[in-house]
Structure 1
Amino acid sequence: MGTSAPRVIVTRPAREATHWVAQLGAHGIQAVALPLIAIGPCTDTAMQDALDAARANVGNYRALMFVSGNAVVHFFEPKRPVALGNHALTATKTRAWAPGPGTARALEQAGVPRSAIDGPAPDAPQFDSEALWQQVAPQVQPGDRVLIVRGRSATPQSAHESPQGNGREWLAQQIEARGGQVEFVVAYQRGAPRFTAQEVALAQQAARDGSVWLLSSSEAVAHLAEALPDQHWGAAHALATHPRIAEAARAAGFGTVRECRPALEDVVASIESAA
């Protein structure tokens, strides 16, 4: 690969960003993590109680849909009881739905058997709720209950997204159209990052030095704009993993915005082609 490829700024939450920096590095691409979404446990007592109730009643659901790897990590939080040992999903015929490979990987790391996990086809044009539904729609029968395990924004009044997220609302509508029942439970909280002076300097430099900003969330784009309100992004390069995110990057003023599938090989190919 050599050093001709631009540096990549990985903006996913810290846990995923670490993984992506390592994966890109293995392909000879210099990458640095600058998480634009901070992840933490949900502190709302009522939401915690609802989460514990869901953990105790996993077998009552046809499927659990996890919106992200962080949803998995916080649902299977080791200090909380989960009535879901390594074999319980298989034993109860409850399926685990993952919108992409990162979430599926987190489920396997949490001890969920691969045979119990459903996700988009590896060659799906996107890893999102629409691609997931193409695979799992036949599972849903009238009366089935599906639990969607999600995060909530620490600033729900913001216009970054609806409370459930666009894809999740769409998925819920499809399930209900087949006679299923949808419940949502919050497993974690998303918030804006608190940048150190070093991170501010990195972001300012990366806005103009040809670095490629790998953007995988519209909310992350909004957080970046809020963290650096006076920054001009006209010289900045963005690589967005979904059309909605590309739209947000253009609205934020990114001078060059390209799109690619969120799969690692597609991201690598897109970065190498920009070198």
Structure 2
Amino acid sequence: MGGPHGRHAGVVTGRAGMGGVRVIVTRPERESRQWVEQLQRAGFAAEALPLIEIGPAASPADVQALQQAWQSLATYAACLFVSGNAVHYFFKQNRSAAQVIPAQAAIKTIATMATEAPPVLPAGLRFMAPGPGTAAALRAAGVPATQIDGPAADAQQFDSQALWQAAGGRDWRGSRVLIVRGQSLAGPHGEATDSAAAPGRDWIARQWTSAGATVDFLRVYLRRAPQPGPAQRQLALSAGRDGSVWLLSSSEAVHNLASFGAIDLRRARALATHPRIAEAARAAGWGLVVESRPQLEDITQALDEMIGSAAGGTAGSIELGHP
């Protein structure tokens, strides 16, 4: 984003006069901080209200599975990371820049990963990212850009279906694919559950299986509903009635809002980064739901139109569709 003298200079000035409409960022805490900073630099009054808590999958079985995945990494043709959090927790113990080595030497070298750094990535392994955020996380973790596959930059959506359009035409017969994922905790005792929170992940796994590949799953992080305090509850209540725009990037986050108690959303506005999320928001009762691609420039454009339309008195009838 440009600063006061950047390409958005005029827009920032206009945003400052839009009545101080807040943007409520609902991503997990680490990501919320980054998005709040970016939106504030763009001139929006952004505030974080995480609707998902993220933590490592740290049971002995999870730790062992992660070690085994690193040791056998060279036996996979592709490794799909479902989100930036999947990248973060997969590489967490090996934060140094990755090295690419010949595939023939990779198996022996990766076997020492638990005690040696930096991590070693097989040169022939393809790293799959469903969107630009996950691809950026992979590059930051040290994965060469030439080994990362994802949807086209101009894709209408960034999800598993768009990724399969880019990768599904290859010959996957006899190949192994690793899907690095998270898992939700639900129930009174925090049981792990494979709920309907990841339809895209399950869909692409079926595509690979149908194409002749063997698909393995690796759980590296856990998701759960937050336990809000009085300040978070008050923010949610006020954001439901004061014209704030909720930035929604997960259907699970929408469902987790129930942990905040009863909130009247009939006058609330939401900006959803995928049609499935928009559908969940409408079902949850948001009075106005707008769709946008998840990239920052698309979100800021959609916010400008939403807030500007509300300032002009047309918020009740706005219909936007950012592909």
Residues 50-92 of structure 1 deviation map (CA, whole Å, 9 limit, x = unaligned): 1221122111111110000000010011269x9x933257643
* Alignment match, 1:235: 267
Asked if the contact 1:6/1:271 (under 8 Å) is kept, the reply is no
Helix, strand or coil at the partner of 1:154: strand
CA change 1:140–1:151 in 2 (3 A) is farther
CA change 1:274–1:162 in 2 (3 A) is closer
- 2:127 aligns with one of 90, 93, 96: 96
Asked if the contact 1:90/1:113 (under 8 Å) is kept, the reply is no
Superposition deviation, residue 13 in structure 1: 1.0
Superposition deviation, residue 43 in structure 1: 3.2
* Alignment match, 1:13: 28
Instruction: Report the residue type matching 1:149 in the other structure.
Output: V
User: Is 1:47 the equivalent of 2:58?
Assistant: no
Residues 106-152 of structure 1 deviation map (CA, whole Å, 9 limit, x = unaligned): 11111111111111111111110011111112344211111000001
Instruction: Report the residue type matching 1:240 in the other structure.
Output: A
* Distance (Å, rounded) in 1 between the aligned partners of 2:121 and 2:55: 29
User: Is 1:109 the equivalent of 2:143?
Assistant: no
CA change 1:75–1:160 in 2 (3 A) is closer
* Distance (Å, rounded) in 1 between the aligned partners of 2:21 and 2:148: 36
* Alignment match, 1:29: 44
Asked if the contact 2:183/2:194 (under 8 Å) is kept, the reply is no
User: Is 1:126 the equivalent of 2:150?
Assistant: no
Asked if the contact 1:161/1:219 (under 8 Å) is kept, the reply is no
Q: Percent identity?
A: 49
Larger RCO, structure (CA 8 Å, separation 6 or more): 1
Helix, strand or coil at the partner of 2:169: helix
* Alignment match, 1:161: 195
Count how many residue pairs are aligned between Structure 1 and Structure 2: 271
- 1:246 aligns with one of 271, 274, 278: 278
* Alignment match, 1:151: 182
- 2:216 aligns with one of 169, 177, 183: 183
* Alignment match, 1:270: 302
* Distance (Å, rounded) in 1 between the aligned partners of 2:79 and 2:193: 27
* Greater alpha carbon shift after TM alignment, 61-70 vs 138-147: 138-147
User: Is 1:85 the equivalent of 2:119?
Assistant: no
TM-score, normalised to structure 2, is: 0.79
Which structure has the bigger radius of gyration? Answer: 2
Helix, strand or coil at the partner of 1:188: strand
* Alignment match, 2:117: none
Asked if the contact 1:90/1:116 (under 8 Å) is kept, the reply is no
* Distance (Å, rounded) in 1 between the aligned partners of 2:134 and 2:40: 21
Task: Give unmatched runs, 5+ long, in structure 2.
Answer: 1-11, 102-119, 308-323
* Alignment match, 2:315: none
Instruction: Report the residue type matching 1:113 in the other structure.
Output: P
CA change 1:263–1:74 in 2 (3 A) is same
TM-score, normalised to structure 1, is: 0.92
Asked if the contact 1:242/1:260 (under 8 Å) is kept, the reply is yes
User: Is 1:219 the equivalent of 2:252?
Assistant: yes
* Greater alpha carbon shift after TM alignment, 190-199 vs 2-11: 2-11
* Alignment match, 2:205: 172
